[in-house]
Amino acid sequence: MAVQAQAKYVRVAPRKAREVADLIRGKSVAEARSTLFFANRNAAGVVKKVLDSAVANAENNNDMAADDLFVKVARVDEGPTLKRWQFRAMGRVNRIRKRTSHITIAVDQREVRS
């Protein structure tokens, strides 16, 4: 049974956060934490917090061991876009789109094969 955590309305562009989420999908939790620590992206910090939250949910609510968990789902969906204006010369204006993300991470136990 997968246990998930979600961060909504995060002020990171979804395209940039998806690059980080793609790095950890399918990896063990320890390997995913190591990958996020060395990822040279601002979104890696937010994704790491969501991963830690999912692991804490699995440990506390479902009595799962953190050593047996792996990242089953790492998904980044697009949230609402904040529209801002930047004023330019001669009465013109440019639109600035500040994009937001909804980050979902689900962890599950590896099946033991005997």
Residue in the structure block whose two tokens are 């049974």 = 1
Q: b/e map of 41-58 (b: 16 or more CB within 10 Å)?
A: eebbebbbbbbbbbbebb
pLDDT of residue 49: 97
Q: Please tell me the predicted confidence (pLDDT) of residue 112.
A: 67
Domains along the sequence of the chain with CATH: 3-109 (3.90.470.10)
Distance of CA 36 to the CA centre of its chain: 10
pLDDT of res. 110: 84
pLDDT tens per residue, range 74-99: 999 999 999 999 999 999 999 999 99
pLDDT tens per residue across span 17-49: 999 999 999 999 999 999 999 999 999 999 999
SS3 64: coil
Confidence class of residue 113 from pLDDT cuts 50, 70 and 90?
low
CA dist 12 and 15 (Å) reads 9
Q: How many helices (H) and strands (E) does the chain have?
A: 3, 5
